Structure 1
């Protein structure tokens, strides 16, 4: 894993409401944890397989944590009011990343309020670590509400859209 990718993960965790983040892949382990002083603590370990036993390398990184609780609180309040109608399906973010309504700034949004969607319709993109992930509606229906703004950082499990099913 490149240092730039680690910095990007630290930035995403820093901007999120997560207290702890753990990532393991192909012998690389990254653990990020916010402490009470508002800093992100990061430990990265790489294990290489060979006939010689090596000690894991550890890297400690500290970065200031931005406090954005009021924004998150407003989003949560808006969603709880909207989710009262049980006939609405909530499309949630499958990952932490940046929400985009279109594939590029000069193209139209995938969906708007009132757009009819099918289960395999792309409704937005969530960008995480320079990878653009297309998010599908997973239900046939009509978009009733868009809960986030274009370019906004979203959390895992955060509601993105409300869709009234057919």
Structure 2
């Protein structure tokens, strides 16, 4: 099964290319993407975990810049000298953000937590599939930009990380 980071990279590559349609099958997973005027449609089929086809529509990478400046429950990400050198961990899909694996469990990370490239920082649930989001960078969590249970958009910043 493909990792969410691999799917995210495929979406970016297709979005930046002149390819209008793409499909890929690997170890029981299928991905089919089609460009539609202003959006990329991703259809992910996973034979192992979901017998019903799952479909997720996402905005292209260019739209992520608009999300960065959108207020979300009082959180505004400003591009100033304080945040310019910080890495943003963004949502790879539209869904619900969860900071822990269950309500009884502690948060995966909090401000001050040290992370590596493969550290799971949260879960984004989309269409009953719980996707673990990895830090993708080694460093320290400086700010958590969303609250558990909050709806997030594709490309929306979730965490700010001070890279090492």
Q: TM-score, normalized by length of structure 1?
A: 0.56
1:24 Cα offset (Å): 5.0
Q: Which residue of 2 aligns with 1:96?
A: 94
Contact 1:93 1:159 in 2 (8 A): yes
1:74 Cα offset (Å): 2.4
Structure 2 residue runs without a partner (length 5+): 1-37, 46-52, 58-68
SS at match of 2:78: helix
- Kindly name which structure, 1 or 2, has the bigger radius of gyration based on alpha carbons: 1
Q: 1:137 aligns with which of 121, 135, 138?
A: 135
Q: Which residue of 2 aligns with 1:50?
A: none
Post-superposition CA distance 1:60-113 (Å, at most 9, x none) = xxxxxxxxxxxx942386112578522200000000000000000000000000
Contact 1:99 1:126 in 2 (8 A): yes
- The 5 Å alignment of 1:51-90 reads 73-75=70-72, 78-80=76-78, 84-90=82-88
SS at match of 2:77: helix
Contact 2:75 2:145 in 1 (8 A): no
User: What is the alpha-carbon root mean square deviation over aligned residues?
Assistant: 3.0
Q: Which residue of 1 aligns with 2:161?
A: 163
- Rate the CA distance shift 1:104–1:81 in 2: closer, same or farther, 3 A: same
SS at match of 2:96: strand
Q: Which residue of 2 aligns with 1:56?
A: none
SS at match of 2:83: coil
Q: 2-side partners of 1:98 and 1:31: how far apart?
A: 13
Q: 2-side partners of 1:93 and 1:83: how far apart?
A: 23
- Rate the CA distance shift 1:139–1:23 in 2: closer, same or farther, 3 A: closer
Contact 2:144 2:159 in 1 (8 A): yes
Q: Which residue of 2 aligns with 1:126?
A: 124
Contact 1:21 1:31 in 2 (8 A): no
The ranges of structure 1 where at least 4 consecutive aligned residues each deviate by more than 4 angstroms after the TM superposition are 19-26, 81-84
Q: 2-side partners of 1:25 and 1:118: how far apart?
A: 27
